[in-house]
Structure 1
Amino acid sequence: MTAIAGNPQRNAEFYVDTLGLRFVKQTVNHDDKYTYHFYFGDAEGTPGTNITFFPWGDQGRSGRFGEGQTKVTTYFVPPESLDYWIDRLESNDIEVTGPIERFGETVIEFDDPDGITLALAASAGTPNGHPWDPSPVPAEHQLRGFHSVSLAVSEIEPTADVLTEGLGYEFETAEDGWHRYRSAAGGPGSIVDLVETNRPRGQMGTGTVHHVAYKSQDTAEQEQWREHLSDRGLHVTEIIDRKYFKSIYFREPGGVLFEIATMGPGFTVDQNEDELGTELVLPEWLENERKEIESRLPSFKSPSVEPDPDVQ
């Protein structure tokens, strides 16, 4: 999941200090080299745990939520962790909506500092990823992977067709206007919910999600997806090298931008695991511009990590 934030310092401190995620990678947007690209995930940056941001700065254009955008990004938490998270969020002056019941699971929702809506779903499933020992959140309560994503569209069927016939999802059930689809593989991060909206087309900017990413094992599988989706009339990009993975992109009929990214080579191609996120790293093709890039990026300091004071 990749979204657009405002102030980079505020963004990083919220996702590390408040949500307890690891700051996995500090680099730049390859399509806009004077904008940071931050990655937050589990201890190793395992695929399926990473939420990433392009922080546009305090002067960046504000986005507007609407049709063709992500409505809610939901993390998995064990049922016994929900009270911990309610207390933690409220103690940090974050307004929590819920708990509510959705598809037989208890869910709470809240906004990050830029207005991006996040949720925690209490589920008995097995979490993805690996706990991060220095996290301010105890290991048993850490966010270790996505549960689901909900997309706002004007009509369910065109997007549902891409999910089922294009990406192999299966319709599961509908409840209170939410239509749930699950990938055949199952497990964490396998759910996409579609919700109809009568809002106008959303405007990309601070406080909105830029795109939703799916995984492929390698470029051979990626090429198969590219051919399959193109045969269904979707415009799919060529494979693009993002250093830590390779990507293809396409926009589904409802307006949401999708990415299919390879599982590797991963975040340790340019840093050891214990060094992840500690300094700005650039792809080789931008390294000779480092001085200019650093001079134009906003001032930023990696957030310090303080243990949860309630943990004995």
Structure 2
Amino acid sequence: MTRNGLHHVTAIAGRAQDNLDFYTRTLGLRLVKKTVNFDDPGAYHLYYGDAGGSPGTILTFFPWEHAAPGRAGAGELQETVFRIPLSAIGFWTSRLQSYGVERAQRFGETLLRFRDPDGLRLALAGIPGIESEPAWDNGEVPVAHAIRGFHSVSLMLDRTAATGAILSDVFGFAEVAKEGSVTRYQAEGTAIGGIVDLQEVGGFLPARLGRGSVHHLAFRAADDAAEAEMVRKLAANHGLHTTEQKDRNYFRSVYFREPGHVLFEIATDIPGFAVDEPAESLGAALKLPAFLETHRGAIEAALPELA
């Protein structure tokens, strides 16, 4: 069965230890992979998600300690939203007080908006009836209140029509609602990571990439064949061409700039995060791709220790 939706979101952080502490201890996510940026092996690439590192639950970071702060604006993924049980709203309101948490409503749902230590915009959406869904238990956040994967992402764009057409035609989303300047697209049958909100903000300054901003957004493809079909549709129907396929060990990816200038990735569900370490010990050891193994000593010496 084809499963459409979000695969992961990748953002830029500052100090790696602060990032690890916030996402594993404060938010209670699992560190599912500790590796390096394949294009910049002097920096970590940290992946957080659910117990098994499922597509639609994964938020990843490039911790570049000395990166300048990003600037909000048009052409960026503005907000990443996680799902929590509606009954957990009070717990999280209290837990996130020091992170500027604010309560809001969008499309009839209760949101708790806040920022991580680097200024990345996050939110929790209270969803009724998901208390029985599995959740990662690391002893920091009670399972009853724990995060259950992505709810949605919100993109701020100068114009949204062309991006919406790609969501519908290539990625299997459909327009389901409008609220002010925001149009909601949803992938049918996908509860986790199944929503993209597009906000049209003509005239805003363009975003500037930096610490506390999102680097790219990845969409799911079941396998190489599904990815190739998406690439074909992008070229044939939208005049957009992707990079060549890149092997990221845990998925295989292509990249392109969508019409609003956000960097989009298409990532395969296979082979997954247990390809190079047992599922029960995901994230415990530093994992390197084969082409970097001969440099392990130098890489480990350059990376900051994580506790």
TM-score by length of 2: 0.92
The Cα shift of 1:204 comes to: 1.3
Q: Is the 8 A contact 1:20 1:142 kept in 2?
A: yes
Q: Is the 8 A contact 2:57 2:192 kept in 1?
A: no
Q: Which runs of 4+ in 1 moved over 3 A?
A: 125-130
Q: How does 1:99-248 map to 2 (within 5 A)?
A: 100-124=104-128, 126=130, 130-197=134-201, 198-231=203-236, 232-248=238-254
Counterpart CA distance in 1 for 2:115 and 2:244 is 34
Change (3 A) 1:56 1:169: same
Partner of 1:2: 10
2:85 maps to a residue whose letter is: P
The Cα shift of 1:211 comes to: 0.7
Q: Is the 8 A contact 2:73 2:208 kept in 1?
A: yes
Partner of 2:275: 269
Aligned residue for 1:85, secondary structure, equals helix
Question: Deviation digits for residues 197-229 of structure 1, max 9, x if unmatched?
Answer: 232221111110011111111111111111111
Q: Tell me the percent identity.
A: 45
The Cα shift of 1:127 comes to: 7.8
Counterpart CA distance in 2 for 1:154 and 1:85 is 33
Q: Is the 8 A contact 1:71 1:150 kept in 2?
A: yes
2:211 maps to a residue whose letter is: T
Counterpart CA distance in 1 for 2:84 and 2:137 is 17
Change (3 A) 1:267 1:168: closer
Q: Is the 8 A contact 1:107 1:119 kept in 2?
A: yes
Counterpart CA distance in 2 for 1:283 and 1:265 is 14
Match of residue 51, structure 1, among 59, 62, 81: 59
Aligned residue for 2:99, secondary structure, equals coil
Q: Is the 8 A contact 1:43 1:129 kept in 2?
A: no
1:275 maps to a residue whose letter is: S
2:265 maps to a residue whose letter is: E
The Cα shift of 1:179 comes to: 1.0
Counterpart CA distance in 2 for 1:208 and 1:255 is 14
The Cα shift of 1:134 comes to: 2.2
Counterpart CA distance in 1 for 2:10 and 2:211 is 12
Q: Is the 8 A contact 1:71 1:152 kept in 2?
A: yes
Please list every run of 5 or more consecutive structure 2 residues that lacks an aligned counterpart in the other structure. Answer: 1-8
Asked if residue 73 in structure 1 is aligned to residue 80 in structure 2, the reply is yes
The Cα shift of 1:64 comes to: 1.4
The Cα shift of 1:47 comes to: 1.2
Counterpart CA distance in 2 for 1:127 and 1:247 is 33
The Cα shift of 1:133 comes to: 2.7
Q: Is the 8 A contact 1:116 1:208 kept in 2?
A: yes
Asked if residue 31 in structure 1 is aligned to residue 39 in structure 2, the reply is yes
Count of matched residue positions in the alignment of Structure 1 and Structure 2? 297
- Of stretches 109-118 and 153-162 in structure 1, the one that deviates more from structure 2 is 153-162
2:41 maps to a residue whose letter is: K
